[in-house]
Amino acid sequence: MTHVTHDEIPPFYDENSEILILGSMPSKKSREARFYYMHPQNRFWKVLEQIFCEEITDKKEFLTRHHIALWDVLASCDINASSDASIKNPIPNDIEEILNKSQIKQIFTTGRTSEKYYQKYIYPKCKKESICLLSTSPANCAVSMEKLTQNWQVIRKYLGKGKKA
């Protein structure tokens, strides 16, 4: 087990962000690259390419253009490599800054672990419902790309219209 903190990867958002996608904790590969969903077998970026019918060449530009914010539910924890199942001593992030400085209409969690910690630690404070999406993690490889893409289509519903959550 290693104690991991989220200090090296800040939340990615701006004042125009409309949806917030929360993972649990960045993988070891993401921590090394200092950005989100950087494990080569994680299908996060491939799913977004499918949903938006475009190739992502610049991740930050893509997220900004589509008003997508990224962060994680946890600020720190003890974890074995990148295994969500091994998480111990979780400490949540405070998402209020993002909610106060953006136009977030909907919060999404990526998989059961991020949803569990969101409901336990963050929802009681912010009272904003979340929608749990299927995990794009390599650990969830039994789920087909087609099923992931279909499940993730819901994020488009909250981009470009509606009011702040």
Tens digit of pLDDT per residue, the chain (165 long)?
Answer: 888 887 889 999 999 999 999 999 888 889 889 999 999 999 999 999 999 999 999 999 999 999 999 999 999 988 877 667 778 999 999 999 999 999 999 999 999 999 999 999 999 999 999 999 999 987 877 889 999 999 999 999 999 754 444
Number of domains in the chain: 1
Give me the active site residues, please. 42
Whichever domain contains 18, its CATH number is 3.40.470.10
Does 163 reside within a domain? no
pTM score, whole prediction? 0.92
Does 165 reside within a domain? no
β-pair partners for 23 = 72
| Dihedral, CA of residue 77, residue 11, residue 122 and residue 89, to nearest 10 | 0
Does 164 reside within a domain? no
Alpha-helix residue ranges (DSSP H) falling in the chain: 28-33, 44-52, 59-65, 96-100, 112-117, 123-126, 145-152
